[in-house]
Amino acid sequence: MSIRLGYQMPNFSYSNSVADLFPTVIAQAREAESAGFDTAFVMDHFYQLPGIGEPDEPMLEAYTALGALATATQSIQLSTLVTGNTYRNPPMLAKTVSTLDVVSGGRAVLGIGAGWFELEHRQFGYEFGTFTERFEKLDEALQIIVPMLHGERPTFDGKWYHVESAINEPRIRNDIPVLLGGGGEKKTFGLAARFADHLNIICNASELPRKMDALMQRCDEAGRERSTLETSFLAFVMIDESGDRARELQREFLRARGVDIDTLSAEKRAELTDRQFVGDPDDVAEQLQDRVLRQGIDGLVINLVTNGHEPGIVELAGKTLAPLVA
């Protein structure tokens, strides 16, 4: 398993017609598959996220969408970025991901995190709990889910979860990869060092040197060779053959969120756009190489939040970035 270049679909606000929504999702996944992306991701949320849109904007249920994409694609891996552990009973999640693996012919990846979006929890009736409690739950959940993905039948009696000889059949393989997503240098990175095959680091690009040092420490503490834990970075990419058009897309995106980038100081602008990579193909490749890959990150997961639904843009991004992570 390797995630060198992933494509995340962060929104479904494509048109006024719900009938056109999922065909557009399928088109993006197929375009990603043919353009050199190895993994397609959807978010595991019920509402659109702050910073991307309003809560009532379209948001598909993740595993239903991934199951449908499994039948519409041939080779691309399929995952959430990432499943909110608080939304799902751990053995049921193991069953769900194993079923996705069977349906897709061995292309599922379990992406998982502690959960963080309080509004969804409250309005859907899920217990949010404290920061500490959510990571206690994630730790326990991984002690159940990982053995089940490996074909074991765990019995576990924890503070939050209880299973008794939990069976997980059918499985097409015993090594479904586990991806943890987040930026927490102690808890998330510590759990990744203990349980994960892959860590998707969510942070500002300028923080990466510190994050990589912290990850090395967590691996040392877990007695794990750092090189055995693959890493990637989640980047907001705004790309177009015309760099001016790409920069205008960035302006429009930020303006819709109440920010006029042209009025900001250089320092504030750099801070606000620390996770954004904007311009023509050469611009974007250079920025990602310099700000991300040179910091020791193995791979890239990108979204194309402004124009990924436009035919040809995913292909342009894939052909631009695949050589960087080959």
Beta strands in 249-298 (DSSP E): 276-279
Domain membership of residue 106 as a residue range: 5-244+274-325
For residue 144, is it within any domain?
yes
- The predicted pLDDT at position 115 comes to 96
Residues in the chain: 326
- The predicted pLDDT at position 15 comes to 77
For residue 74, is it within any domain?
yes
Tally of domains in the chain: 1
In angstroms, rounded to a whole number, what is the distance separating the alpha carbons of residues 267 and 119?
Answer: 31
185-225 pLDDT, tens digit per residue, is 999 999 999 999 999 999 999 999 999 999 999 999 999 99
Q: Is the dihedral of CA 155, 81, 215, 300 positive or negative?
A: positive
Q: Is the dihedral of CA 65, 68, 73, 76 positive or negative?
A: positive
Contacts of 188 (CB under 8 A, 6+ apart): 113, 114, 135, 180, 181, 182, 199
- The predicted pLDDT at position 1 comes to 63
156-157 vs 162-163, strand pairing mode: antiparallel
Partners of 84 in beta bridges: 113
For residue 261, is it within any domain?
no
* Residue given tokens 């992406």 in the structure block: 111
13-70 pLDDT, tens digit per residue, is 987 789 999 999 999 999 999 999 999 999 999 999 999 999 999 999 999 999 999 9
- What does the mean pLDDT of the chain come to? 97
Contacts of 157 (CB under 8 A, 6+ apart): none
> For the stretch 158-188, what's the b/e string if a residue is b when 16 or more beta carbons lie within 10 angstroms of its beta carbon?
eebbebeebebeebeeeebbbbbbbbbbebb
CATH number of the domain within which 35 lies: 3.20.20.30
Per-residue tokens: 308: 């990924």
For residue 257, is it within any domain?
no
Q: What is the mean pLDDT of residues 79-91?
A: 97
pLDDT band per the 50, 70, 90 thresholds, residue 279: very high
In angstroms, rounded to a whole number, what is the distance separating the alpha carbons of residues 318 and 14?
Answer: 21
For residue 47, is it within any domain?
yes
For residue 253, is it within any domain?
no
Beta strands in the chain (DSSP E): 5-9, 39-42, 77-80, 83-84, 110-113, 156-157, 162-163, 178-182, 198-201, 230-239, 276-279, 299-303
For residue 209, is it within any domain?
yes
122-149 pLDDT, tens digit per residue, is 999 999 999 999 999 999 999 999 999 9
- The predicted pLDDT at position 16 comes to 78
What is the DSSP secondary-structure string of 118-166? HHHHHHHT-----HHHHHHHHHHHHHHHHHHHTT----EE-SS-EESS-
For residue 249, is it within any domain?
no
164-195 pLDDT, tens digit per residue, is 999 999 999 999 999 999 999 999 999 999 99
